[in-house]
Amino acid sequence: MQPTNMAYDRAITVFSPDGRLFQVEYAREAVKRGTTTVGLKYKTGVVLIVDKRISSHLIEPGSIEKIFKIDKHIGCATSGLVADARSLIDRARIDAQINQITYNERIQVKTLVKKICDFKQTYTQYGGVRPFGTALLVAGYDDTGPRLFSTDPSGALMEYKASSEGSGRNGAMSFFESNFKDDLSKDEAITLGLKALHQATEEKLNPEAAEIGIVDKDFDFKILTSEETLQYAKQALGGN
């Protein structure tokens, strides 16, 4: 890199001449290097599926956290720096509880996502800090129905019917573009999500490294057991 450009590269508060914040772009690269996550809505809820990418047989799979419960009706999947994600999730849990105590009602999913993104955005505006190197897929169910949001290190948010983050995002999104349809059942959504994750990982998905989280109008957010996940994976992927 030329010396004349290094100031723009080092400081989060300085725009480059062509209007770019390099530190935000680097944070996006951290997300792209993260494990693949997918999320998709179905008739009455939302499914989140992640590839834990277990790199050694010595690692205990249960120690790798990629899906988190924020509130009874909201959960999220992370891609990128897990430590950054955990910090954001702790803050989101506090925001959800403050809303419950103040108004005696569950927080709206979009309201919570906006609070998360507003906090992320402040870390693109002040010196001495860096952006959060993580993207969250936030799933929830409120009185408006099932909701699925994707958040960006810049603080931007977007609502999707089906989305993906991480290293396999392009492959998963291409699969969803061709195969997603409205009014899926829960089982159909899980199967479709596993197939998308399988394609996004170039057919190297280890069923034992997958994790599934579900929220529905009829039950609170929950993470399926490894046995349930394996059963769904065998049904979706067959002998792969």
Q: What positions carry a catalytic annotation? A: 35
- Do 62 and 196 form a contact (C-beta atoms < 8 A)? no
- Which of these, 77, 90, 65, 73, lies nearest to 160 by C-alpha position? 77
- Do 224 and 212 form a contact (C-beta atoms < 8 A)? yes
Six-digit token pair at 202? 């170039």
List of E strands, 45-168: 45-51, 67-71, 74-80, 134-142, 145-151, 157-159, 162-165
Cα-Cα end-to-end distance for the chain: 44
- Do 45 and 186 form a contact (C-beta atoms < 8 A)? yes
Three-state secondary structure call for residue 78: strand
